[in-house]
Structure 1
């Protein structure tokens, strides 16, 4: 049974609250890691094969540094302006963080994202593939790409129709510095997450036929990570369950 977590305290950036914030993050992080381990065990999986991406959108770089001190290595962001600043502010950390861009991405932001991101989770159209490929060549950095799949066709969340995934994967594979790493999706609110993630798993399995290295399945957030793990997710994106209520980044 999951232990109830205390509400997030009001977050101040005064020095005397830094340890309080660190203790809060440590408690929440441990609880999420425990949820992942229990879900993996229930699914007959090894939890070490599941990557936790801590989503720090709207939170300051200081929280990223605190999380790094707690062993976090994979960090997710959904807005380039915030992500690029935090990546620069945390560039001195060792070992280095792995930055995941998880939000909808405009093509004009591709050059910036290519400078710091290690994995882009939201590749869903041909124009974005071309923009990321060009940006990767300019920066001479490899980018791992996940094809975001729409599981319900809702335009607000982005994502490609499952039938277009093979074509997008072929275009990514043709770019010298882009890699087809797998798929990503957000579960539609109107259906059980288990059923939605099962469909994403089938898309990933079909993709593996032509791209054997495309084993990543990025699915599951604070409220549905157990369902995602049961369906085979390899990467879980968790924000509020670790960081608490949102606060404007500084």
Structure 2
């Protein structure tokens, strides 16, 4: 049996295998290549292999790298996956195609204002603090229904829920809990949008319903 030639092919093969076991279509999972801290020289090989979905943690870093890359690959989809400061909402709305870290009222207000001003509706995942770890950000579970109502009232496209489970603990129960929260809150109705799973646990996330997985080190190696 031949081994995949590149890290991207290896990850795609693992996604396909996990989807087969879970009886899901491979196309139901979007692989977001987390390119934070990596320069254009590391990103270009994936673009040249045809990959078009990338994630960044910081607005300024994305602004430094991606305008030039998008001139060459204009169909690239860029995800904001890190904590977002309200004063960066304008740049985020202009640059990103999806935001995975909407978690508080002040950010909601800033994003809604910028989406109206720029006439650009950017789909957002609501980040949930499923592990009760405030340092990671995320809407507290108890406040989620009320916060989702505010998101809908603000006319922000609701892409789904996002979470990062606690480190060094079996992630499956946390992923299953996020999926249950999504179903219970109709987020969205069909299909459920679930941004969960990273390099070390994305197969488990796929088994529990992830629609977007965020893979960095398994594609790029150690951070730059």
Query: TM class by shorter-chain length?
Result: over 0.9
Tell me, which stretches of 5 or more residues in structure 1 are unaligned? 6-25
Cα deviation code 1:171-190 (max 9, x no counterpart): 222224x2011000011125
Aligned to 1:215: 192
Q: Post-superposition, which runs of at least 4 consecutive aligned residues in structure 1 deviate over 4 A?
A: none
User: Within 1, Cα distance between the matches of 2:220 and 2:169?
Assistant: 27
User: Within 2, Cα distance between the matches of 1:44 and 1:124?
Assistant: 32
Residues 1:200 and 2:178 are matched in the alignment: yes
User: Within 1, Cα distance between the matches of 2:41 and 2:84?
Assistant: 25
CA RMSD of aligned residues (A): 1.9
Residues 1:174 and 2:180 are matched in the alignment: no
Asked whether the 8 Å contact 1:182–1:214 carries over to 2, the reply is: no
Aligned to 2:166: 188
Asked whether the 8 Å contact 1:204–1:214 carries over to 2, the reply is: no
C-alpha change, 1:91 and 1:114, in structure 2 (3 Å) is same
Cα deviation code 1:189-242 (max 9, x no counterpart): 253111110101101111217x42572100000000011011100000000100
Aligned to 1:111: 90
C-alpha change, 1:76 and 1:194, in structure 2 (3 Å) is same
Q: Aligned pairs, how many?
A: 223
Q: How does 1:33-182 map to 2 (within 5 A)?
A: 33-176=12-155, 178-182=156-160
Asked whether the 8 Å contact 1:222–1:239 carries over to 2, the reply is: yes
Residues 1:238 and 2:215 are matched in the alignment: yes
User: Within 2, Cα distance between the matches of 1:71 and 1:58?
Assistant: 21
Cα deviation code 1:61-109 (max 9, x no counterpart): 2333331111111110001111122221222134511110000111111
Tell me, which stretches of 5 or more residues in structure 2 are unaligned? none
Paired residue secondary structure (1:99):
strand
User: Within 2, Cα distance between the matches of 1:215 and 1:245?
Assistant: 32
TM-score under structure 1 length normalisation: 0.84
TM-score under structure 2 length normalisation: 0.93
Paired residue secondary structure (2:157):
strand
User: Within 2, Cα distance between the matches of 1:62 and 1:96?
Assistant: 19
Paired residue secondary structure (1:167):
helix
Deviation of 1:44 after TM superposition, in Å, equals 1.5
Asked whether the 8 Å contact 1:207–1:214 carries over to 2, the reply is: no
Paired residue secondary structure (1:91):
helix
